[in-house]
Structure 1
Amino acid sequence: MEKQSTNGKTKKGTGGYSNITIKKETATRFRSYSKKFNSSHSEVLDGMIQYFKENNLDPFGEGTKIIVDSIKKLERQMMKKFDRLIAIIKNMEKTSIRPTYEMMLILYEAYVKDGRRPKQEPIQIQEERMDFLEPRNTVPKTEHDRMLQEFNEYKKRCNKILNNVEKVEPIMGKPYLKINMGIGDFESLIYQLK
């Protein structure tokens, strides 16, 4: 912000303007440059000055030297970090990867020199058993008879349902099956199946 003198007092940022004489080409370049920021010319110029001050930049040659020096400094720091990483990887190779490789190589060479191959277990074929005809889990005769009776009843109900099934072929659509059964019989069947 500019300082403006009024009545012998200095005020900061009062919004007054001052004229600066610059070349016409420079003014045109500055106007087109400041349009990019959607700010007034004063704000853009003030921002540029602030940027130069904060970064210790000299617009007449020393500024680029400072930037190049800082880039070189960063590059040197990165190279030191890369050197550290390479040293860590070489150390890992020396202390853990290489010895493990050497041990595996020694074991492999010893195995090849020994000439022994792992023994393969002969495959044992189970003999055919004939005792499957003998009852293992026996149930009492009464239990067996009751289960047989329930099975026969179930079979009769299934046959009764299958006898009530008829094929329906509509004029349009796919054919389907229809069961002729009363609602009470259907509910009874659901109850029995639960």
Structure 2
Amino acid sequence: MDNGYEKEGFAGLRIKTSVARKFRKFCKHYGKSQSLSLLDMILFFETNEISPSERFGETITSLKFQMKRRFNALIAIIKSIEKHQTEPTAFLMKQLFEVSAQQEAENHIDFTPQELITENEELEYYQNQFRDSQKRYLQLKSDTGLILKKLKYIRNNFGMGYYRLNLNKEDIQRIKNNLDHVHHDNSSEIR
């Protein structure tokens, strides 16, 4: 009848009649013998380290309902995050990529094949460029030399000395015209 307990004898317990009826009904409901049902109960209380007089407060059904509500709240939070943060960010990223793709398409330069030139023409081109840069360098060097020649140190008796540049208007205008990066002429004349 009871697996593992066939050779053991029975002992009588003294319990109230109403409690014995409830216990027998409980055992029939779960389909176990009275000995095994009582053993399962004792093991349950020992394993979970609880006392039979303790109340859990809530039944498993109410705990299930409470967990379901919590899960629904969690799902609502995730949907809210998705709606208010993830979707707008994804939309902005999509627009950003579309704009950058359009800009790339607009900035796409169609390189047309250039006319092929011979090695001699290419060599001549670079030689001319080198000669031009040499001329500009020599002109700049001569202008700097002229400025340094016209520079004179003036010693001051009551303070620090200073340098004075003795250039005439024509030399200054010529130096200005030789410089490529000067785009304006600031005159010092008072009108």
- Under TM normalisation by the shorter chain, which class is it? 0.3 to 0.5
Ranked by relative contact order (alpha carbons within 8 Å, sequence separation 6 or more), the top structure is 2
Give the structure with the higher percent strand: 1
How high is the TM-score relative to the length of structure 1?
A: 0.34
